[in-house]
Amino acid sequence: MYEDRIRCAALRGKITTAKEAAQLVRNGMRVGASGFTRAGDTKAVPIELARRAREEKEPLRITLMTGASLGHDVDRLLTEAGVLERRLPFQVDTTLRKAINRGEVMFVDQHLSETVEMLRANLLGKLDLAIIEAAAITESGGIVPTTSVGNSASFAILAEKVIVEINLAQPLGLEGLHDIWIPGRRPHREPLPIMSPEDRVGSFTIDIPPEKIAAIVITDQPDSPSTVLPADEETARIAGHLIEFLKHEVKHGRMNAQLPPLQAGIGTIANAVLSGFVDSPFEALTMYSEVLQDSTFDLIDAGKMVFASGASMTLSATRQEQVLSELDRYRDKLVLRPQEVSNHPEVIRRLGLIALNTALECDIYGNVNSTHVGGTHMMNGIGGSGDFSRNASCAIFATKAIAKDGCISSIVPMVPHVDHNEHDVDVIVTEQGLADLRGLAPRERATLIIDHCTHPLYRDVLRDYYRDALKHGGQTPHDLANVFAMHLRYNATGSMLPEGAVGNVANA
């Protein structure tokens, strides 16, 4: 059985149940699991682990590292079972998030390119076990990843033992889509030889000694579909501002007509904005990104995009079914790489990417908070946004100007948590407009951001703040005594708007 999926005959004897395989996990272990933005995650062993932890009396607490977020409620189940002692580098689960914010799970929020770099340098301890979803294992024992590569390759290489979940729901046609390249150990590391998004520099499979594979589990479940919302009026306006800006850049010779390769962060806004490029004048677009969402395939299908490089494909249910059943149509237009390659500063700087990421909030000087609600409570994590924005030729952050029916302004005097500072933020765009901050001093940025990006509901509030701040002087004027007044007012009253101000967006 499974001759086409486990082509290395010697390994077929390793097939076992998820329950048996989960016995390999012991209290205190460090475990690396496949999965990047819900794609290519393991579907059976972690869930068995959660079940076992609930049933057993012995403590069972582990450090879990992944590529990025998982599907199938795995983070919820593991959290509820009390299995997660430490989690890195990214998550999006509501239950886990609450446990993190109560201080019950130690969450290490990392640039996604850095986790395996640190693991390789022995800075995160020894990796005891890797659990990797695969479409197949080749004759020589090479592991064929599925819809994501993420950190799977380095996890498998660095772990003492490996559990492989062969997922029959992932088509065999995925083989050949991946490009596995792993940086050498310092100090004798060579350049990463990618000169263009379509360059292939590695192998199709994750190559480890077959004897490291301790168990193989057969599964048959598709990836959890993406949860992004469809485009709406605001995201269409954000896309419109952005396309105008890029046309202007091309017209003035600062970008070529094809545009530099695009990166777009995970989520509704980036996905919707990217979809907006279907109606743009740009042709022969390419992507060098971490996650490929529906929008990537919208652009490919529209003949607008000629190549997309990513670390995962995270698609809606419909798109997932269509893409996986028509892989041959996309085969010469796609590659999936390890996330330390998709997010590598070296390549991002060399290619001069346009990086489009989402801000939770940004301040009048261009500092961006991507992670901490109210400056304290973790939402998801920084993800790859820092890898890209620091090194891109143009780092764009998009957000709707208000949230919660106008009770929250996404533009504030000072962000209470900084993930991307003024040095790394080139452009801020909301449905209200776009601020091009490149080459500007903070006082110039403040005027531009307030005038172009803030919602009319908050424009005067922010102008008043800035006018008062100017009295304190400085390169970056602030009134520290009142700098978080909007945040404190929101905590106290449920709205950032001053008392007496128009309290509802509909009245603005």
Q: How far is the CB of 142 from a copy of itself (least distance, A)?
A: 27
Q: How buried is 373 (Cβ within 10 angstroms: 0-12 exposed, 13-18 middle, 19+ buried)?
A: middle
Taking CB atoms within 8 Å and a gap of at least 24, the contacts of 123-127 are 124/30, 124/65, 124/88, 125/30, 125/63, 126/30, 126/160, 127/30, 127/31, 127/32, 127/65, 127/155, 127/158, 127/159, 127/160
Nearer to a copy of itself, 121 or 168 (CB): 121
3-state secondary structure 245-264: HHHHHHHCCCCCCCCCCEEE
Q: How far is the CB of 327 from a copy of itself (least distance, A)?
A: 28
State the alpha helices, DSSP H only, in 23-93.
45-55, 74-80
DSSP state of 281: S
Annotated binding-site residue? 122: no
Q: How far is the CB of 501 from a copy of itself (least distance, A)?
A: 21
Question: Is 157 in contact with 304 (CB distance < 8 Å)?
Answer: no
Nearer to a copy of itself, 88 or 130 (CB): 88
Residue holding tokens 């030889």? 193
Q: Which helix (H) or strand (E) holds 470?
A: helix 456-470
Distance of CA 17 to the CA centre of its chain: 31
Which has the closest alpha carbon to 34: 439, 345, 336?
336
Annotated binding-site residue? 384: yes
Q: How far is the CB of 353 from a copy of itself (least distance, A)?
A: 10
Q: d(Cα 471, Cα 168) in Å, to the nearest integer?
A: 66
Q: d(Cα 10, Cα 7) in Å, to the nearest integer?
A: 9
Nearer to a copy of itself, 145 or 384 (CB): 384
290 is catalytic: yes
Which among 165, 234, 290, 431 is annotated as catalytic? 290
Q: How far is the CB of 379 from a copy of itself (least distance, A)?
A: 9
Q: Which two tokens stand for residue 314?
A: 């995270």
Tell me the residue length of the chain.
508
Nearer to a copy of itself, 122 or 507 (CB): 122
* CA distance between the termini of the chain: 66
Q: d(Cα 68, Cα 33) in Å, to the nearest integer?
A: 10
Annotated binding-site residue? 212: no
Q: How far is the CB of 443 from a copy of itself (least distance, A)?
A: 6
Nearer to a copy of itself, 5 or 97 (CB): 97
Nearer to a copy of itself, 272 or 414 (CB): 414
Positions marked catalytic: 290
- Residues forming the annotated binding site for CoA? 380, 384, 404
